[in-house]
Amino acid sequence: MGLFSRFAKKNTASLAYRRQMAQMISNKRIKYVGERRNGVEEVIGKGGSISIRDDEILLFSSADVLMRAKIAEMDASELLSKDGVVLTGGEPLLQPDAGALLEKIRTLGYAVKLDTNGTFPERLEQIVRAGLADYVAMDVKNSPVRYAQTVGAVELDLAPIDQSVSFLLRGTVDYEFRTTAVAELHDDASFLSLADWLAGARRYYIQRFQPRDTVLRAGLSAPSEAQLHCWAELVRPKIHAVEIRGI
């Protein structure tokens, strides 16, 4: 699970409240830190913790301080996420206690956005039907025929992912689908197939791949801006709300 440096709460005026929010997340261990750059969430640090020292809040990754700020100068919206708590990963639904965590977050009055790759459809549906998520963002890696290749698997059972897609398409919760486009892994046929698979979706985002040291495979590159727009046009006849991120 990823813990981001911003959350949301209705009353941001009280300094006492901001200190209370800071204490709630103090000493929490984190697996990684994410930051939105050019519309795409990117990993900027792995492993670490959140700490309160005097009147400052510090976010550590290894020995580096990734964020340092005066609590008195921060809104609660800077202590938690502007849109609420983002439960992300890795795959957050891999954690069997994800639902229990969201129940606790709900008691604090926060909205919840859930990021998932769709591999645990039963847990996803259970969380949504329990009213524990306001918005779901599902990563759809590629067309069915190229899915295994894209995730680096020899074989892959797509049934759970397809089940999650079908559930979200029913509109039980607000949602988006998104695909990170990689020049070596995606082509016109990929997006024509994705358009058929996700037809009628509320929102679909094509995210431009960002080469970084943290990617799982070397030798991958980002498609050109012109190529991204071409792929978006291929999808639009079946998914009207299509946008490009990362350009």
Mean pLDDT of 106-117: 80
Q: How far apart are CA 136 and CA 235, in angstroms?
A: 21
* DSSP conformation class of 109: T
Q: How far apart are CA 79 and CA 148, in angstroms?
A: 38
| Range of weakest confidence among 40-49, 121-130, 199-208 | 40-49
CB atoms within 10 A of CB 229: 14
Residue 41: per-residue pLDDT: 53
Mean pLDDT of the chain: 79
What pLDDT, in 10s, does the model give residues 52-84? 777 776 666 666 666 676 766 665 445 544 335
What pLDDT, in 10s, does the model give residues 134-191? 889 999 999 999 999 999 898 899 999 999 999 999 999 999 999 999 999 999 999 9
- Asked whether the beta carbons of 195 and 150 are under 8 A apart, the reply is no
Residue 137: per-residue pLDDT: 92
Please check the confidence at residue 229 and state whether its pLDDT lies above 90: yes
